[in-house]
Amino acid sequence: MKKTIDFMMDKKKAGQKITMLTCYDYPTAVIQENAGIDIIFVGDSVGTNMLGYKSATEVTLEDMLHHLKAVRRGVEKALLVADMPYRSYETKEIALKNAQLFIEAGADAVKLEGREEKVVEYLTKNNIDVIGHIGFTPQTHEKVSMQGKTFEQGKELYESALSLQTSGLKLLVLEMVPEEVAGLISEYLMIPTIGIAAGRYCDGQVQVINDLLGMTQRKLVHVKEYADYKNSTFEAVQKYKDEVENRIFPHENNVRNMDADELHEFKALF
């Protein structure tokens, strides 16, 4: 069964948590699909995690489309969401043109940051499902910091969430928000919320796959490493290097041989 926005709504109503992970390539998409992840998300975090960019603002539309197409090939049932990169939705007309490219490339919905009610409403009227993102927003905040720590900031987040929902938003990502604020917003909204560094009470959770697998150097409070990719991969590469240099690899089990008669004829050339 294909997972849809309605499927996510049903999970919220039933009190079931929604799972979401970033994904940037085909092999990882296949793994996430087979594991049953609800939402596979091609985030603009591809820039800092896979492309060596210093900021999400460096990610281009072409970058996103390239990685979206790769992930699409590995996804069948999960809801596939793609980030609209920096400055790709400055007006509602530009947003629609670019969002249509994402849909054509295989996205089921697009995600954008901030209070973009007019854009959300316009895309929704043109049959494009939109995921929102408030709190810490990498495309606009230069410094990583918690949002909504004071009454006024929390109220602003709450009002933003309500306004975006009214505009037609289908899901809302809350990033780096105190869990009390995220929890109350999640409880009041009709649409599902997905938290990252937003505590335990959102309707679902999203993590950057590189953080989850232990691929990065950073240690973050909201991240749990479920694997040690960095060290295990280093050890594998180092072992490969040593075995090649010491003539251990390739082993006789790793080679293919020519037919004896063909080999005899071939040797006659030398």
Q: Do 72 and 203 have their domain in common?
A: yes
User: Which pLDDT belongs to residue 231?
Assistant: 93
Which CATH number do you get for residue 167? 3.20.20.60
Count of structural domains within the chain = 2
Joined tokens for residue 240: 């490969």
Same domain for 158 and 255? no
**Is the model's pLDDT at 109 over the cut of 80?**
yes
Give the per-residue pLDDT at 217. Answer: 74
16 and 104 within one domain: yes
Span 163-201, pLDDT tens digits: 999 999 999 999 999 999 999 999 999 999 999 999 999
pLDDT value of position 221: 79
pLDDT at 143 over 90: no
Same domain, 168 and 259: no
CA nearest to 133, candidates 44, 69, 225: 44
Please compute the mean of the pLDDT values over residues 103-126 and round it to a whole number: 98
Distance CA 155, CA 61 (A): 33
In this structure, the answer to whether residues 187 and 262 fall within a common structural domain is no
**Judging by beta carbons within 10 Å of its beta carbon (0-12, 13-18, 19+), is residue 214 exposed, middle or buried?**
middle
pLDDT tens, residue by residue, 4-46? 999 999 999 999 999 999 999 999 999 999 999 999 999 999 9
Q: In the predicted model, what is the mean pLDDT of residues 126-147? A: 94
Which residues are catalytic, by number? 175
Shared-domain flag, residues 165 and 249: no
Domain co-membership, 132 together with 252: no
Q: Please tell me the predicted confidence (pLDDT) of residue 194.
A: 98
* Residue % of the chain over a pLDDT of 90: 94
pLDDT in tens, 44-76: 999 999 999 999 999 999 999 999 999 999 999
For residue 220, pLDDT over 80 is answered with no
| Cβ atoms 169, 131 nearer than 8 A | yes
Same domain, 54 and 24: yes
Q: Which domain holds residue 261?
A: 232-267
Residues 6 or more apart whose Cβ sits within 8 Å of residue 171: 5, 8, 109, 131, 132, 191, 192, 193, 194
Q: Does residue 218 have a pLDDT over 80?
A: no
242 in the same domain as 180: no
For residue 76, the number of C-alpha atoms closer than 13 Å in the C-beta half-sphere is 7
Asked if 66 and 149 sit in the same domain, the reply is: yes
Residue 239, pLDDT score: 96
**Pair (18, 71) in one structural domain:** yes
Does residue 218 share a domain with residue 244? no
- Which pair of structure tokens corresponds to residue 269? 């050339």
